[in-house]
Amino acid sequence: MKHLLGSAFLLAAITAPAYAQTSSGTLDAAGATQQLKTLLALPFANDLVGASKVQRFAWIEKRNGVRNILVSDAGAAPKQITHYTQDDGTDIWGLALSPDGSTVAYVEGGDPEYPDDPSPNPDLKPVETRQLVHVISASGKDTIVGEGCNPTFSSDGKMIAYSRKGTLYLGAVGKEIKPVLTQRGSIISLQWSPDKTRLLFTLDRDTHSIIGFWSVKESKVSFLDPALAQDMQPEFSPDGHAVAFVRTHTPVTYHKNKDARFWSLQIYNLDTGKNRTVWTPSAGRGAKFWSTEGSGLLWADNTHVLFPWEGSGWLRVCSVAIDGGQNVPTCLTPDQAEVSSYRLSADRKALFYTSNAGNVDKWHAWQVGLDGAHATRLSNSADMETDLAVAGNDVAVIAANANQPAHVVVLAKGQSPKIPVDPQLPSSVHLVTPQDVQFKSADGIKVHGQLFRPAGTQSDKHPALVFVHGGPHRQMLAAFNSMGYYSNAYAMNQTLAEQGYVVLSVNYRSGTGYGEAFRNAPEIGRAGASEYRDVLAGATYLKTLSDVDPHRIGIWGGSWGGYLTALALARNSDVFRSGADFHGVHDMTRTDKMGLSPSENKAAHDLEWQSSPVANIAHWHAPVLLVHGDDDYNVEFSQSTLLARMLSEQGVNYEEHSFPNERHAFLRMQDWLTAYQWTNAFLARTLKDSQP
């Protein structure tokens, strides 16, 4: 059974106005704006969590730019437990449920990527914004307990802890929460021991990170075998007597030493105070640690640990015994496929995971027994299922498809899937179905992408665009994306197609989903920008299509995609007629790196410069749109001001816009809409309506 949260969205879908079209049947400027506004306003679900002891899920929904928390029991119609009403850019994140699901904690404001930095204020409020930890009780009362992040409940739900920079706060739910520990650095993770007597944390000190625990009874801090590495992803064993964690070292040079190994799996015995290395990968594939965001170590029982590993060249979940034997890992998920999210069942006998097994461009949810049983799909849906959570005995996934943005689907054993909020397009919106396509780069690399073709006859010659995602560790799919940034980009690509553009979204090398060799391909980024070959190959592919005008090909993208957009216009203004560059990197040079000789540093800087768009500024003559938020912590705002100055010196036509106080991924829906309106108008003038 499908449910909508009240009737407001359904009414909006019914009453949405018909969009204005040109004589050719494509959207005009007003129609494009209205479609974008409708698509960006659709409910979008993220940050899905589940209660460990009951079938209760919670997630954050963004609807019409406003973020709120929804709670659903076993997939039933959800209850909205927060009451925010403004598209003011206030983020909601760090969602946590008590084990019985009766209490909810979350963070209001701030930036989950940069929680120790000043809270953003994109709505230009006259007062300073703050990053606040909230607790919502079973009665629905919402209480601010302090400034910070990482709210975490104890195993009985009676205690809560959170952190702010290097300070740990602790107290009983409903009582005053007090600071109990302050250390230099930033506490970036928290976990309670099963018996509630200890709090495990990771302390980031930039050059290294160490793992410690706070003894609640003794009011004492201890560190677990502190070393010279980045220790991360600590996890208590089920009996609370041991902690598993990953110890990593970051390579200094670009060179690949065939004997190098950069990480190991550690087990710390809390009873004896002794630490030991239980497994180290072989040199070669998988010798550098890699995991997806939000996934880490899991204990199958007190003697086996599950961990992510790329030993076969693909990210898989593997298991290893910690008993001191040969410790040969057993991989539970299939080869030639990657995982993006994984959780254990409540009884720790099965692993739930999302994977692109069978088709690297399709993601689905799977289940496999830890005894080696055959893996089975959790649903028969064709939707992209990229994230999951477990609540009691139920599993829920974040799903999306070509017509529906990310939404929650609850998969209870023996029951039909339940969709608590079912986003539906208004009848006035007609989206194209993107095609999965493949083509080859000039050096033979196979490249995957999605092709958005305008509806109607393919005999007409259309302007075309290459879209390049950011990251660069991302993968675009033939559906709305589960990341808000790229869900918006998908809406934009759909709207561009409705305006008459053929759009090719390129999954260039250094992206995820296609194995370690593709993600870590030679000479990528600052080491030579080899991924640009795939972008250029995308333009070459577009020229082979009968419905594309080869003289009207443009490019657009943000972040790393902004970098590649600028690189394309700088190197190949003869191919790309114009472009839109959102918050891109334009000068890739860095300061000297410790551990490299002066000559090695010079060689690295020369390569960084050659990989930079500004290195080819003399060849740049195509017009470009520049958009950047001036409170960007991911890409320095000066990267765009530098490019504007250099384009001015070259006499290149460009249009420039900034959002005061906005972050890298714009926090306000209105700012996304405005940026896309600028893009539509700019591309219409410089590409769609231009003459060869």
pLDDT in tens, 21-44: 664 668 999 999 999 999 999 999
CB-neighbour burial class of residue 682 (10 A; exposed 0-12, middle 13-18, buried 19+): buried
- Residue-level pLDDT at 6: 38
Is 610's pLDDT higher than 90? yes
**Quick one: pLDDT at residue 258?**
77
Give the integer Cα–Cα distance in Å for 366 and 332: 11
User: What pLDDT score was predicted for residue 163?
Assistant: 98
Q: Would the pLDDT of 327 be above 90?
A: no
Two tokens at 81? 């437990």
Rounded CA separation 651/220 (Å): 64
Is residue 348 very low, low, confident or very high in pLDDT (cuts 50, 70, 90)? very high
CB 223 within 8 A of CB 212: yes
Q: What average pLDDT score do residues 449-464 get?
A: 88
Please tell me whether the peptide bond between 329 and the residue prior to it is cis, using omega within 30 degrees of 0.
Answer: no
Q: What is the pLDDT of residues 129-140, one digit of tens each?
A: 999 999 999 999
The pLDDT tens digits of the residues spanning 73-102 come to 999 999 999 999 999 999 999 999 999 999
Token output for 65: 């730019």
In this prediction, residue 15 carries a pLDDT of 43
Spatial separation of the C-alpha atoms in residues 529 and 327, rounded to whole Å:
39
Instruction: Please name the residue that has the structure tokens 């004896």.
Output: 272
pLDDT tens, position by position, 644-658 = 999 999 999 999 999
Backbone dihedral angles phi then psi of residue 70, each to the nearest 5 degrees: -115, 145
Asked if residue 410 lies in contact with residue 75, where contact means CB atoms within 8 angstroms, the answer is: yes
Q: Given the structure tokens 């801090």, which residue do they identify?
A: 221
Instruction: Assess whether pLDDT exceeds 80 at residue 357.
Output: yes
pLDDT interval class at 412 (50, 70, 90): confident
Asked whether the predicted pLDDT for residue 1 surpasses 50, the reply is no
Structure tokens at 424: 């539906």
Please say if the pLDDT value at position 536 is more than 90: yes
Asked if pLDDT for residue 500 goes beyond 60, the answer is yes
- State the pLDDT at residue 415: 87
Residue 143: its pLDDT value, please? 97
**pLDDT tens-digit profile of 280-325?**
999 999 999 999 988 899 999 999 999 999 999 999 999 999 986 6
How many helices, marked H, and strands, marked E, lie in the chain? 9, 39
Predicted pLDDT of residue 455: 86
Cα–Cα distances (Å) from 288 to 248, 272, 279, 311, in that order, read: 8, 30, 14, 10
Kindly state the tokens that stand for 267: 């087990």
- In terms of Cβ atoms closer than 10 Å to its own Cβ (0-12, 13-18, 19+), residue 1 is exposed
Whose structure tokens read 């470009």? 624
Region 601-619 average pLDDT? 97
Starting at the edge strand found earlier in the chain, the sheet holding 304-309 runs: 298-299, 304-309, 316-321, 330-331
Task: Answer whether residue 8 shows pLDDT above 60.
Answer: no
**What confidence tens digit (pLDDT) does each residue in 188-212 have?**
999 999 999 999 999 999 999 999 9
CA distance 392 to 56: 8
Instruction: Give 16's pLDDT tier (boundaries 50, 70, 90).
Output: low
> Over the stretch 51-69, which tens digit does the pLDDT of each residue have?
999 999 999 999 999 999 9
pLDDT tens profile 379-408: 999 999 999 999 999 999 999 999 999 999
Among the ranges given (79-83, 110-114, 161-165, 293-297), the one the predictor scored with the smallest mean pLDDT: 293-297
